[in-house]
Structure 1
């Protein structure tokens, strides 16, 4: 495999087709979305780097997916690198990624304390640092709280614009489910959304998977989403 070509074996990350800036629970007018969109307008002038931090269900991964979708719509080469998916393959997966226009790295905190990974990400950062390139990373904490052992990498991680994103409340999750359903042409009432939150896992990814199942069942059976229908469909 040529060093100029990104390794494909470990990078089979599928982008959810409905996780866009428009469906972000914080709204398209939020500071973080406005900043990410502006990054594309400034690409040709300078390297664009954004650091998104937050705990689970903060929506930071959604913003990565949305950034990749936005890049694809603009005809730019892009990739989303999930550290949870590729960590076991080792730093070799980073080879050639500097050929991309836009690179998004999820859960970067997982490399903290791993010498080989820290050095590889540091080197990638330096190779990516040029006009026309956009790098967006997520982690659970701020750079100086990650226990990164390589001082130069910690310094690089502080270079760009940092956003601390709060975790979603139950109200946020209910609103997000209603909004996502509406974008699919599916009517999900607030009452039904709150029922799902009380009876199922509050993990947003799991809730969206349930919404997929309900959407399919509603289409097949030509039924509206009601609490009785939800109970039967999900065996609750």
Structure 2
């Protein structure tokens, strides 16, 4: 299990206010109340109470990131649910672990997924699925699969809270080597849409405006970035 650590604060510098876990073959994953249950699920493997789990959360919440952490630990293969076919059974047989991504976006073969769930139980394997909506809200044609998926309690990633958004903004600015004052991050976190996708877009616009204006990211630049990002979303450029 990877230890969670808190980065030490330095005067007048932005720091990550949340614990983070080093994801194998992925960036740091910030931990907050909104995603603790999903992080605990990954960290508790292989001691899961069931042989299958479903992580449910909105787009950009970190489902694939956490699935990748678990993949690296369990040596699982990864398959998109919409492409699911018999080859996934062979992949599962190799390690008795498998990640099935985005089951809400279509399942290539419902019969194969039902078979995989049975195999995981019969062979003491583990199946990790991700979805933007709970399986109980999905339209599943195969009655046995529908019943089986609904019997697996979903592990939720909630929309990010303010603490997580602030830390994500700090990390995104740091990745771009932008020096930003704490009050600017606070302003953005209070006025932007509270989602990971929105944070990524706003920081990108701040970077672009900062370069164009040849000045650091101030509150005025942040306000302009928010206005530009909202205008882009209204024009259809943003994600829903």
3-state SS of 1:149 partner: coil
Contact in 1 for aligned 2:110/2:145 (Cα 8 Å): yes
Q: Distance in 1 between matches of 2:190 and 2:78?
A: 29
CA shift for structure 1 position 155? 2.5
1:48 pairs with 2:51 = yes
Indicate which of 117, 126, 130 corresponds to 1:125.
117
The 1:235/1:53 distance shift into structure 2, 3 A limit, reads closer
The 1:212/1:48 distance shift into structure 2, 3 A limit, reads farther
Aligned length: 200
Mark the structure with the bigger radius of gyration: 2
Alignment of 1:76-155 (within 5 A): 76-83=74-81, 87=82, 89=83, 91=85, 94-98=88-92, 99-111=94-106, 117-129=109-121, 130-131=123-124, 133-155=125-147
Q: What is the aligned partner in structure 2 of residue 4 from structure 1?
A: none
Q: What is the aligned partner in structure 1 of residue 26 from structure 2?
A: 17
Q: Distance in 1 between matches of 2:84 and 2:76?
A: 20
Higher relative contact order (CA closer than 8 Å, sequence separation 6+)? 1
Indicate which of 185, 191, 208 corresponds to 2:184.
191
**CA RMSD between the two structures:** 4.4
Contact in 1 for aligned 2:79/2:88 (Cα 8 Å): no
Structure 1: gaps (5+ residues):
1-14
User: Which TM-score applies when normalising by structure 1?
Assistant: 0.59
Q: What is the aligned partner in structure 2 of residue 11 from structure 1?
A: none
3-state SS of 1:128 partner: helix
User: Which TM-score applies when normalising by structure 2?
Assistant: 0.59
Q: Deviations over 1:16-67 (max 9, x none)?
A: 72253xx134378x23322321123x27xx863222223445x2xx144224
Q: Distance in 2 between matches of 1:179 and 1:27?
A: 18
CA shift for structure 1 position 117? 1.9
Q: Distance in 1 between matches of 2:115 and 2:28?
A: 30
CA shift for structure 1 position 119? 1.2
1:175 pairs with 2:182 = no
